Amino acid sequence: MQQLRTEHDTPGQAGDETRGQTRHETQRAAEQRYVDALYARLDADAARVRTELREVLRGDPEDAFTRDVRAAMLERRARTLDAADHHLCFGRIDHADGGSLHIGRTGLSDGDDQLLVDWRAEAARPFYAATAAHPLGVRRRRHLGLDGRRVARLSDELLDGSEPGPDDVVGDGPLLEAVSARRTGRMREVVATLQAEQDAIIRSSHRGVTVVEGGPGTGKTVVALHRAAYVLAGFEEARADGVLVLGPNTRFLDYIGEVLPSLGENDVAMSTADRLVVDALDLPEPALAGHALRRLAGDLRWADALADVVQGYQAPSGTLTVVVDGDPATLDAPTLAETREAAVATGLPHNQARAVFRDLVVDVVADEVQARARVLLARLDEDMEVLAGGVNLDKAAAKDLARLGFEADADGAYGHAAAVAELDPGALRAELRGDLALERAVEDAWPRLTADDVVRDLLDEHPDLAPDGADAPWSVAHLPLLDEAAHLLDGPPARTYGHVVVDEAQELTPMQWRSVLRRCPGRSMTVVGDLAQAGPATGATSWADALGADLARRADVRTLTVCYRTTAQVLAEAAPLLARIAPEQQPARAVRQGDEPRRRAAGGDLAAAVAQEVGRELEHGDLVAVVAADAAVPALTRAVGGAANAAGEVRVVPVSQVRGLEFDAVVVADPDGITRARPGGERDLYVALTRPTRRLVVVG
């Protein structure tokens, strides 16, 4: 962790405020000149990229592919440069051997001179990773605070143990400033103050699954999002196939929605595990579902059960008969069974294997029709003389000829054309493939299925899985089942990603994990979560439960230990609960001290007591949230709904939706009610208690 040093701790500076200010001003002016040069370069680069883009778009349409690739590249660069305008440069490292580097949101160079190093570049690593214990050759780390394009603040840390010299401005840590800042309701990027333990994960070159665990407020979401940006720049597969970030619900996605764009990344897809399936299968909006149904439907056993349903449609049974030109052709039971087995053996999903099955049926029927034609022709050979003579045939021979497609000409003579066609295997098969009767027989034996059909079959066998209400549409609980069925029927999803980041990963059920993994065939993933915060729908107690033993074994598991959100006092309030719900977990260490949490009784009228506390909290000018059991939310919203201050309205947030969010002050309403409301309620309460950045009030 970065050392949080203040001016008062710094030897040689005490008391000499004026000298400190002059030094700060001199250094600030020097950095301002450098930053002015950086912005001049940024503006020039942005103008050049736009001109080039215009020229490319006007370019030769005959080479449209090259033009589009080049245009996409330039557009991306233009967006990066635009996004970099805000707080372009935020840091600098001075090496013990005299060199220095400025670190910022994008790389800028002037010929061979690197003016600004992109924070993701290897050269920038020491800015984040150097500590007093391991300075990595860095003498001084400087943080620059920009206000627009003006250098407003700077503060230095000396990492080599040396005394501050005339050019050093050792000051309040920007980390403390960042974590103490008032919250706005939207998460901000913190690229300037990423800490060493976070940076090590963000920059990890591990290509498989990286699991990041840690208590509330340790920066798991911060790591997840900055890693998405890092991976996009550094991993070929991520650049080629895209990055997907998954969150637990849309409220959370809204909360984190500005982080990646402000890092210059607009191409990252954001979704929830539910939304992924709704979009992929083009489903109507699903109904909500209770946690009990979600947990039941999330059980891994349904994967096998659904596979059994589909296999049931492929199992050997009966015979298959097709009438061709008035004569039946039959696949007897052993032949039909063999045909099914051959189709199953392809390993293709059901609807694709069906095409193989149909072609095999066509082969068998064609063989039969041809064998019949050969018999008839052989019989006709005996009559050749008669045929050549053009005399009238007896009735039986005429029927044989007609069946083979022979037609008598005006003289009563028969030609060979149609019979030859019947014996042409290619033509016969093509004709049979378009034959409606054959198609119907195949559909009976191996029906084309939809995900809907398969899940409804499963529900017939397991009525406990049915949606509430007879005609209810699918609920969110059924989405992973539908996705599984779609996979069995039609194979992998059309859209997959090179890297997938899963936040609040403890919230996914095992069936949802299957759905997510399907979209990440390369298994390059960053999975962040806290099992102590798991909601009732999952109840996962280990990553092996969640990810499956195989993947969990191969995962690189990292733990974050420092809490940046909340104060030591709030963590202490939640500690006894943590000891009960996850005794094996070490509580995180808080970087900040604050007020003691307040507890008060509801006195018989919870809403009134909460409204009173909200009024008090609003006087601080903070963003305030009331967190309560879901059922209590409507009454509390009525009680405090109108209250507001400069920081925005008071938010009444159901505990089921509060994971991952944070507020300056949190009023937890009726903790016992939260604990009792649903299974694992103590985990819900733990989540609620750990949401504030400043003050916690518990009413009830």
Beta bridge partners of 118: 104
CA distance 559 to 528: 10
What one-character DSSP code corresponds to residue 559? E
Report CA torsion sign: 270, 273, 274, 280.
positive
Instruction: Please state the closest distance from residue 10 (CB atom) to ligand ATP, in A.
Output: 22
Least separation in angstroms between CB 652 and ligand ATP: 19
Query: Cα separations (Å) of 131 from 121, 483, 540, 562, 584?
Result: 19, 47, 36, 15, 29
| Residue 692 touches ligand ATP, criterion: CB under 6 A | no
Nearer to ligand ATP, 222 or 606 (CB): 222
The verdict on whether residue 567 carries a ligand-binding annotation is: no
| Nearest CB to ligand ATP, comparing residues 660 and 671 | 660
Binding mask 61-80 for ligand ATP (x = CB under 6 A): --------------------
Size of the site for ligand ATP (CB under 6 A): 22
Q: Residue 635 Cβ, how far from ligand ATP at the closest point, in Å?
A: 26
Part of the chain binding ligand ATP (CB under 6 A), chosen from 70-78, 155-163, 210-218, 505-513: 210-218
**Separation CA 303–CA 305 (nearest Å):** 6
User: According to CB under 6 A, which one of 13, 198, 538, 637 is a site residue for ligand ATP?
Assistant: 198
Q: Which residues pair with residue 654 across a beta bridge? A: 628
Task: Kindly state the smallest distance separating residue 526's Cβ from ligand ATP, in Å.
Answer: 12
Beta carbons of 4 and 175 less than 8 angstroms apart: yes
Is the Cβ of residue 215 or residue 298 nearer to ligand ATP in the bound state?
A: 215
Residue placing its CB nearer to ligand ATP in the complex, 320 or 687: 687
Which residue, 56 or 245, has its beta carbon nearer to ligand ATP? 245
| Binder of ligand ATP out of 13, 210, 218, 339 (CB under 6 A) | 218
The CB-of-302 to ligand ATP minimum distance in angstroms stands at 29
- Tell me how far apart the alpha carbons of residues 344 and 357 are, in angstroms, rounded to a whole number: 8
**442/533 Cα distance (integer angstroms):** 51
179 versus 465: smaller Cβ distance to ligand ATP: 179
Give φ, ψ of 91 to 5 degrees.
-155, 170
User: Hunting for tokens 């500076």 — which residue is that?
Assistant: 13
Within 616-675, the residues that bind ligand ATP by CB under 6 A are 660, 662
Does 139 bind ligand ATP (CB under 6 A)? Our answer is no
**What is the number of H-type helices and E-type strands within the chain?**
29, 23
Q: For residue 665, list its beta bridge partners.
A: 624, 695
Which of 541, 645, 638, 626 minimizes the C-alpha distance to 583? 541
- Figure out which of the listed residues 20, 171, 214, 480 binds ligand ATP, where binding follows CB under 6 A: 214
Distance spanning both ends of the chain, measured CA to CA: 37
What are the CA-CA distances from residue 542 to residues 42, 420, 678 (Å)?
47, 69, 21
Q: Is 234 annotated as a binding residue?
A: no
Is 214 known to sit in a ligand binding site? Answer: yes
In the complex, minimum distance from the CB of residue 588 to ligand ATP, in angstroms, rounded to a whole number: 9
In the complex, the smallest distance separating the C-beta of residue 531 from ligand ATP, rounded to whole angstroms, is 11
Q: Work out how close the CB of 640 gets to ligand ATP at its nearest, in angstroms, rounded to a whole number.
A: 23
Angle between helices 479-490 and 451-461 (to 10 degrees): 120
Annotate each residue in 165-184 with x if it binds ligand ATP (CB under 6 A) or - if it does not, as one string. ----------x--xx-----
Span interacting with ligand ATP, options 154-162, 220-228, 571-579, 635-643, rule CB under 6 A: 220-228
Q: Which is nearer to ligand ATP, 4 or 356 (CB)?
A: 4
Q: CA 298 to CA 286: how far, in whole Å? A: 16
| DSSP 8-state assignment for residue 440 | H
Q: Read off the tokens for 686.
A: 């733990």
Closer to ligand ATP by Cβ: residue 255 or 513: 255
Estimate to the nearest angstrom the gap between the alpha carbon of 248 and the chain centroid.
10
**Residues in 545-584 that interact with ligand ATP by CB under 6 A:** 564-565
Q: Which residues contact 246 (CB under 8 A, 6 or more apart)?
A: 270, 271, 272, 273, 276, 500, 501, 502, 503, 516
| Least distance (Å) between residue 190 CB and ligand ATP | 4
Residue 619, classified by CB atoms within 10 Å of its CB into exposed (0-12), middle (13-18) or buried (19+), is exposed
The answer to the question of whether 221 is labelled as a binding residue is yes
Q: How many CB atoms lie within 10 A of CB 683?
A: 28
Q: How far is the CB of 648 from ligand ATP (least distance, A)?
A: 16
Q: Which residues contact 65 (CB under 8 A, 6 or more apart)?
A: none
**Per DSSP, what are the bridge partners of residue 108?**
116
Q: Judge contact between 215 and 585, C-beta under 8 A.
A: yes
Question: Would you say 189 or 241 has its CB closer to ligand ATP?
Answer: 189
Query: Is residue 306 near ligand ATP by the rule CB under 6 A?
Result: no
CA 696 – CA 124 distance, rounded (Å): 38
Window 493 to 552, contacts with ligand ATP (CB under 6 A)? 530
User: Would you count residue 217 as binding ligand ATP (CB under 6 A)?
Assistant: yes
Of 211-219, 283-291, 366-374, 481-489, the segment contacting ligand ATP by CB under 6 A is 211-219
Q: Give the distance, in angstroms, between the CA of residue 145 and the centroid of all CA atoms in the same chain.
A: 33
218 belongs to an annotated ligand binding site? yes
Residue 283 or 698: the one with the smaller Cβ distance to ligand ATP is 698
Sign of CA dihedral 121, 123, 124, 130: positive
Calpha distance 368→425 (Å, rounded): 11
* Pairing assessment for the beta strands 598-600 and 692-699 based on DSSP bridges: parallel
Smallest distance, Å, CB 235 to ligand ATP? Answer: 22
220 touches ligand ATP (CB under 6 A): yes
Q: CA–CA separation, 200 vs 125, rounded Å? A: 9
Cβ proximity to ligand ATP: between 219 and 673 the closer is: 219
Query: 540 in helix, strand or coil?
Result: coil
The least CB distance from residue 557 to ligand ATP, in Å, is: 15
The residue (of 352 and 569) whose beta carbon lies closer to ligand ATP is 569
Determine if residue 426 is labeled as part of a ligand binding site: no
Contacting residue, 211, 222, 508, 633, with ligand ATP by CB under 6 A: 222
CB of 208 to ligand ATP, least distance (A): 22
Residue number with CB closer to ligand ATP (160 or 177): 177
Q: How far apart are CA 227 and CA 235, in angstroms?
A: 11
Residues in the chain: 700
If the CB atoms of residues 221 and 314 are measured against ligand ATP, the closer one turns out to be 221
- Could you list the residues that contact ligand ATP (CB under 6 A)? 175, 178-179, 187, 190, 193-195, 198, 214, 216-222, 530, 564-565, 660, 662
Binding residues: 214-221
Binding residues for ATP: 214-221
